Amino acid sequence: MSFSAEAFKRQFPLFAQGENARLVYLDNAATTQKPLSVINAVRDYYMHSSANTHRSSHRLARKATEMVERVRGQAAEFVNAASPNEMVFCRGATEALNLLAHCLCSGLAPGDEIVISTAEHHANIVPWQMAAERYQLTLRFVPDTAGVPRFDQLSTVLNERTRVVSLTGGANAIGLRPDLAQVRRQVQHTRSVWIVDGAQLAAHEVVDVQKIGCDFFVCSAHKFYGPTGIGLLYGREALLEAMPPWLGGGEMITEVGLQTSRYAGLPHKFEAGTSPLAAIAGLGAVLAFLARQDRGAMAAHEQKLVHRLHRALEASPDFHLVSQARNNLGIAAFVPVQGSAADLMHWLDERDIAVRVGHHCAQLLGRAGSNPVTVRASVAAYNTDSDIRTLLQALEAYCDFHRPTAGQLQRESGSG
């Protein structure tokens, strides 16, 4: 199978409409656009199948229940889980990480340790800080160089008290992707569970949790062309079985007594209340959509774009490049030498180029390094060579505009 970004892009209606036809969308690490099949699946659910899921109920309700369990099966295939029971629907990576922080840490003893890194998204920092405070746990960090974690040195912070290692599968601020095999080798001899935050990874690579060897994996559908409001938590069956539930309510019980209740089995134990059913329908559509693509060719195309961006920025004296092309999931992070990152973002926005500026929900990384605020251009498979050319031309125009003239330079050097 060969891959054409132009043909792929034609499946995304947003780019075909009015002012968006010119849009160069390079904010894909924040969220991706949706193909027509996903939009239709969400609409069709409300048009033809809207009902709550109750196993022994009327025709529409049975249809909704079947749909949810069918999508759960697709989700298990998507990450190569051993069983659909290992797949829990949640609102997204943030909710999945909060669930894990709550359910794993409530059983720990004061002084037990959790390991994260400075490159984590806030969703993989704050829930652990909250749990550490509540259960008197110790939070440790992978050693870093100027804020960039040295995952090869993870073992130096692992010890007999380590119970949880929760690390990114790909950092959203700089694109850095750890060598997961190297992480596994270091974690596997400890008594710790290993969580992979796959929010960025799942968009760019076929995920195989059995091959990775992690205990838990989390991701959000909106990062891989799916709807917002739905994400996946994969967990090894035995570990999920052993965990207490998090939210209580309908759907997660089999029997409610006056003082206590009996909880449902996996995975419903972790799915209290009404699930986001239309979003689950959309998730089913995006998983089918991705299964029809040549994911390897998509990834190769994205890598080509991100390498081209890095080559151009590296060669330019007008930018300081914060990300590296090597082991990169599709993100270029940089700051202009003249002007400011925020100023550059507005310049690009005026030219209909969407990038993001800020700390990208990874303040620890920025604080430890020298560039807390960067411009981030993040690619998806629908980005074309022409998108990258347009961005580079706009960056050049920005620098030309801000470059001091010879007269200005003379005045500035004269004024001492």
Structure tokens that stand for 214 in this block? 């992690």
Other Cβ atoms within 10 Å of 58 Cβ, number: 9
Q: Does 94 bind ligand PMP (CB under 6 A)?
A: yes
* Number of CB atoms found within 10 A of residue 211's CB: 12
Inter-helix orientation angle 385-402/295-315, to 10°: 20
Check binding of 377 to ligand PMP (CB under 6 A).
no
Residues near ligand PMP (CB under 6 A), total: 13
DSSP string of 136-186? T-EEEE--EETTEE-GGGGGGG--TTEEEEEEESS-TTT-B---HHHHHHH
The distance of closest approach from Cβ of residue 103 to ligand PMP in the complex, given in angstroms and rounded to an integer, is 17
Is residue 232 a contact partner of residue 90, using CB atoms and an 8 Å limit? yes
Establish if 168 lies at the interface with ligand PMP (CB under 6 A): yes
Min. distance of Cβ 224 from ligand PMP in angstroms? 11
Question: Going residue by residue from 175 to 204, which x/- string records binding to ligand PMP, judged by CB under 6 A?
Answer: ----------------------x-xx----
Burial of 152 (0-12, 13-18, 19+ CB in 10 A): middle
Q: Indicate whether 323 belongs to the interface with ligand PMP (CB under 6 A).
A: no
Nearer to ligand PMP, 117 or 192 (CB): 117
In the bound state with ligand PMP, the residue whose beta carbon lies nearer, of 29 and 285, is 29
Tell me which of 38, 68, 103, 123 binds ligand PMP, using CB under 6 A.
Answer: 123
Distance CA 203, CA 189 (A): 30
Q: Angle 377-172-79 (CA atoms, 0-180°, nearest 5)? A: 115
What whole-number distance in Å separates Cα of residue 229 and Cα of residue 15? 22
Tell me how far, at minimum, the Cβ of 311 lies from ligand PMP, in Å: 25
Q: Indicate if 105 belongs to the active site.
A: no
Q: Which is nearer to ligand PMP, 124 or 374 (CB)?
A: 124
The residue among 170 and 336 lying less far from ligand PMP, judged by its C-beta, is 170
Q: Supply the DSSP string of 235-272, one letter for each residue.
A: E-HHHHHHSPPSS-STTSEEEE-SS-EEEP-TTGGG--
User: In this chain, which of 9, 34, 72, 121 binds ligand PMP, going by CB under 6 A?
Assistant: 121
In angstroms, the CA 364 to CA 408 distance is 38
Nearer to ligand PMP, 200 or 390 (CB): 200
220 binds ligand PMP (CB under 6 A): yes
Contact window for ligand PMP (CB under 6 A) among 87-95, 156-164, 286-294, 394-402: 87-95
Cβ atoms of residues 95 and 124 within 8 Å: no
* Identified binder of ligand PMP from the candidate list 32, 72, 92, 186, rule CB under 6 A: 92
Establish whether the linkage from the previous residue to 267 is cis, with ω within 30° of 0. yes
Closest distance of CB 100 from ligand PMP, Å: 12
Query: Given the rule CB under 6 A, which residues bind ligand PMP?
Result: 92-94, 121, 123-124, 168, 172, 197, 199-200, 220, 361
Catalytic residue IDs: 361
